[in-house]
A and B are shown apart, each in its own frame.
Chain A
């Protein structure tokens, strides 16, 4: 906002937008209360305790907004001048609390200000992260390591309650439409502090929200499906993970390449577990070549090569948070190895010793006969092998037809 030359200009701009109380103006005003917007760089807006000044600008006839604007300038001061991210974070929480008490709870049949609220929450998440890294750099004990995220989650949850209980407003003006955006805000916080179990009631509320779902913004729906899919992958709910991540991938605009890539990082393992392998060109297009060798090794049934490919790109996969998930690819890779061994042997009764020979060839030496039987029994239970173990004879007896069904035909989740 290069046209701002003074605090007065800034207050005028806010006040003008506050006259026409509609969603569009809410979006514009959200920028003026954002930490990312150009205005935040003006030193004349970075004022300590602006609200305490005797002669100051005011937002006329709107005390709540006036207080919020003053607190916002105090946040800007603490971020840019005082460099006190901890005070900045606690001030941002104060803003959210005022917003809840004076706006969300008091203004009935209005929701045009929700874009402002979304922005305030997003900035609070960023400030909490920064405050936390400041604090963890300062003191040794990390017993309170997550306290900034927790206080942020608490403030946002209070607002969530206000919004979901707004059941009397007419459609189009209800604050309930904020549910999905707030669920996404909390999703991101709980990912940070590893408390995804707290999302259960929020997810259930979205599942049961009925026709309201169609009123949510696409931006929020895509983000929600991305978070939901990630959670489902970690919970081992593969079909939910596939459905959610496919929705997110399909509906994420093509120009948002970096988000599409983030979706793929979780969608690829899910698809692989379900027997759908990403093509080399897809991986290359999205700069995910770290997966190429893993995919090739899984397809070939080479367990040793899978391990080596994972180790080679370990830092990348750990950064993405999927290293442990990818290790489970060993199971379907073993299945493909056993399929190859069975085809080479060419009968329906395969000596277990032959599978061990296969495993040793790929460098797996830590599996004994009992463990091998266990691996095979699991594959049979998952319907990935049609057959049974003849323990006495130390053989695997496989079905005459389609003993190793294609993975994509086996629904296992």
Chain B
């Protein structure tokens, strides 16, 4: 851990406190990547379908109602390629 190298800092109360603070900060940082502990341990369980965030997943993104820019390019490219276009 890089913070341990700070122990060579000049003596004195203030200088001595710094590396300690660094250790605490390090601990916070490593935990950021991890699943954090919950502040409480117990709460009511929700059943399937009791979601807060409904309508956050789209299923019908596939039925193209408007032609995207990319679709237009594709059509043009296929036409240039000599394919019969419907």
Residues of chain A at the chain B interface (Cβ within 8 Å)? 35-36, 41, 79-80, 83, 85, 122, 126, 129-130, 133-134, 137, 188, 217-223, 226-227, 246, 249-251, 253-254, 256, 258-259, 262, 271, 275-279, 281-282, 299-302, 305, 336-337, 339-341, 343-347, 351, 353-354, 357-358, 361, 404, 406-408
Q: Mark B31-43, 1 if CB is under 8 A from A, else 0.
A: 1101111111111
**Residues of chain A lying within 8 A (CB to CB) of residue B84:** 345, 347
Of all chain B residues, the one with the shortest Cβ separation from A227 is B35
**A302 pairs with B70, CB closer than 8 A:** yes
Per DSSP, chain A at the interface is helix
- Cross-chain contact of B75 among A223, A256, A301, A344 (Cβ < 8 A): A344
A276-B57 contact, Cβ under 8 Å, with A36-B27, A226-B35, A251-B45: yes
Confirm or deny: B14 has a beta carbon within 8 angstroms of a beta carbon on chain A: no
What's the nearest-Cβ distance from chain A to residue B61, in Å? 5
**B62 pairs with A130, CB closer than 8 A:** no
**A282 pairs with B81, CB closer than 8 A:** no
**B86 pairs with A250, CB closer than 8 A:** no
Q: Which of B39, B62, B68 has the most CB of A within 10 A?
A: B62
User: Which B1-33 residues have a C-beta within 8 angstroms of A?
Assistant: 1-2, 4, 7, 19-20, 23-24, 26-27, 30-32
**A358 pairs with B86, CB closer than 8 A:** no
**A256 pairs with B36, CB closer than 8 A:** yes
**Residues of chain A lying within 8 A (CB to CB) of residue B71:** 300, 340, 344
* A259–B40 alpha-carbon span in the complex (Å): 13
- A-B contact number at CB 8 A: 147
A250-B38 contact, Cβ under 8 Å, with A129-B30, A345-B84, A358-B74: no
**B37 pairs with A122, CB closer than 8 A:** yes
* A130–B1 alpha-carbon span in the complex (Å): 7
- Cross-chain contact of B38 among A35, A85, A133, A253 (Cβ < 8 A): A253
What 5 pairs between A and B have smallest CB-CB spacing?
A346-B86, A276-B57, A282-B56, A219-B38, A357-B81
**Residues of chain B lying within 8 A (CB to CB) of residue A301:** 70
* A299–B64 alpha-carbon span in the complex (Å): 10
Of all chain B residues, the one with the shortest Cβ separation from A362 is B70
**Residues of chain B lying within 8 A (CB to CB) of residue A344:** 71, 74-75, 78, 83, 85-86
Residues of chain B at the chain A interface (Cβ within 8 Å)? 1-2, 4, 7, 19-20, 23-24, 26-27, 30-32, 34-46, 50-53, 55-64, 68, 70-71, 73-75, 77-78, 81, 83-86
**Residues of chain B lying within 8 A (CB to CB) of residue A219:** 37-38, 40-42
Q: List 16 A-B contacts (CB under 8 A).
A: A36-B27, A217-B41, A219-B38, A219-B41, A219-B42, A223-B38, A250-B50, A251-B45, A277-B57, A281-B56, A344-B85, A345-B86, A346-B86, A353-B83, A354-B81, A406-B59
**A259 pairs with B35, CB closer than 8 A:** yes
**Residues of chain B lying within 8 A (CB to CB) of residue A220:** 41
* A137–B63 alpha-carbon span in the complex (Å): 55
**B30 pairs with A134, CB closer than 8 A:** no
**B59 pairs with A408, CB closer than 8 A:** yes
Of all chain B residues, the one with the shortest Cβ separation from A304 is B70
**B74 pairs with A276, CB closer than 8 A:** no
* A404–B64 alpha-carbon span in the complex (Å): 13
* A302–B69 alpha-carbon span in the complex (Å): 11
What's the nearest-Cβ distance from chain B to residue A341, in Å? 7
* A345–B83 alpha-carbon span in the complex (Å): 7
* A407–B30 alpha-carbon span in the complex (Å): 38
**Residues of chain B lying within 8 A (CB to CB) of residue A251:** 43, 45-46
What's the nearest-Cβ distance from chain A to residue B56, in Å? 4
